[in-house]
């Protein structure tokens, strides 16, 4: 099972989030049947979204959305504090310029939805880790260092290693600490190399912090998990209205819905559509 840790260093002025996400990314790749380029891109976004979402309050959720005018079309991932994430890539090629968005929503799943906070910056490098660090510095004024990695292979399972580290400078942090951490990261071994050798999230934190002592505050499981369901599929079909549902019944004797986030397919048969029409009527 993939894991994520929260840790602090330098008297609580440095926040460290580190995660192994190999199984998360493997599940996404299996569900979406993506090309290697798209798999690596989505894997990094899923990992980055999990790291950022782990700092949320309960019942909040965070999305990272990349709109691209290149062949990729776009990437979106959505995660909650409880360690679940889902996401997809619009197109298989990961090249192109665009915009990097972070969307924070409060209380959505318990009916207390407020207008979301949306922050955005232009994509500056095309490397998800660099663009995430740039967003945090420019839009949220949090100096950060980010490492994200996905290693693929040509045989199943296609994802050999995936994970990430997010180091943030909190109020009161020594201004030289971020420079020291960036230097440590620059000379550290590749993230996926240490993960394939059996590294834990704690090992990833140490890789980013070097000799700096840190304290692990919390460890939790993370997983690729979608909130779609047959009931939600029925609700969406019903929302099309009696005329459209009646047309589906007459022409196809049923309906098929596919979730874009996880590629799960829901099939509604003739009886399902008749129940919808009876209820709506």
Domain segments of the chain as ranges: 3-224, 230-280
- According to DSSP, the residues that pair with 15 across neighbouring strands are 8, 168
pTM: 0.90
Which pLDDT does position 278 carry in this prediction? 87
Distant-in-sequence, close-in-space partners of 275: CB < 8 Å, separation ≥ 6:
none
How far apart, in whole angstroms, are the C-alpha atoms of residue 21 and residue 31?
A: 16
Which pLDDT does position 273 carry in this prediction? 92
Of 188, 64, 37, which is closest to residue 133 (Cα–Cα)?
64
Candidate CATH numbers 3.55.30.10, 3.40.50.1110, 1.10.10.10, 3.40.50.12160; the one for domain 3-224: 3.55.30.10
Candidate CATH numbers 3.40.640.10, 3.90.1280.10, 3.20.20.70, 1.20.950.20; the one for domain 230-280: 3.90.1280.10
**3-224 and 230-280: same fold?**
no
pLDDT under 50: residue ranges of the chain: 95, 110
Which pLDDT does position 3 carry in this prediction? 98
Which pLDDT does position 280 carry in this prediction? 64
Query: Is the link from the previous residue into 142 a cis peptide, with omega within 30 of 0?
Result: no
Which pLDDT does position 196 carry in this prediction? 96
Which pLDDT does position 158 carry in this prediction? 87
Give pLDDT tens digits for 143-186.
899 999 999 988 777 899 999 999 999 988 887 887 888 889 88
Give me the long-range contacts of 177-181 (CB less than 8 A, separation at least 24): 177/10, 177/13, 177/14, 178/143, 178/145, 180/210, 180/212, 181/14, 181/145, 181/208, 181/209, 181/210, 181/212
């Amino acid at each position: 099972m993939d894991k994520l840790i929260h840790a602090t260093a330098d008297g609580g002025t440095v926040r460290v989030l580190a995660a192994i996400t190999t199984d998360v990314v493997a599940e996404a790749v299996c569900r979406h049947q993506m090309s290697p380029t798209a798999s690596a891109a989505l894997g990094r976004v899923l990992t980055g979204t999990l790291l950022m979402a782990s700092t949320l309050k309960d019942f909040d959720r965070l999305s990272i959305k990349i709109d691209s005018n290149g062949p990729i079309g776009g990437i979106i991932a959505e995660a909650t504090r409880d360690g679940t994430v889902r996401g997809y890539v619009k197109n298989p090629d990961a090249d192109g310029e665009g915009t990097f968005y972070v969307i924070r929503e409060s209380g959505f799943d318990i009916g207390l939805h407020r207008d979301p906070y949306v922050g955005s910056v232009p994509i500056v490098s095309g490397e998800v880790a660099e663009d995430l660090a740039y967003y945090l510095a420019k839009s949220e004024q949090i100096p950060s260092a980010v490492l994200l990695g996905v290693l693929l292979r040509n045989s199943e399972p296609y994802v050999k290693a995936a994970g990430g580290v997010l180091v943030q400078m909190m109020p009161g942090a020594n201004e030289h600490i971020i420079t020291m951490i960036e230097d440590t990261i620059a000379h550290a071994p590749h993230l996926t190399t240490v993960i394939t050798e059996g590294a834990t999230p704690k090992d990833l934190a140490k890789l980013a912090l070097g000799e700096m002592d840190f304290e692990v505050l919390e460890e939790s499981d993370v997983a690729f998990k979608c909130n779609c369901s047959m009931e939600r599929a029925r609700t969406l079909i019903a929302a099309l209205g009696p005329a459209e549902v009646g047309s589906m019944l007459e022409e196809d004797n049923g309906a098929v819905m596919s979730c874009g986030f996880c590629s799960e397919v829901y099939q509604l048969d003739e009886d399902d559509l008749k129940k919808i029409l009876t209820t709506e009527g």
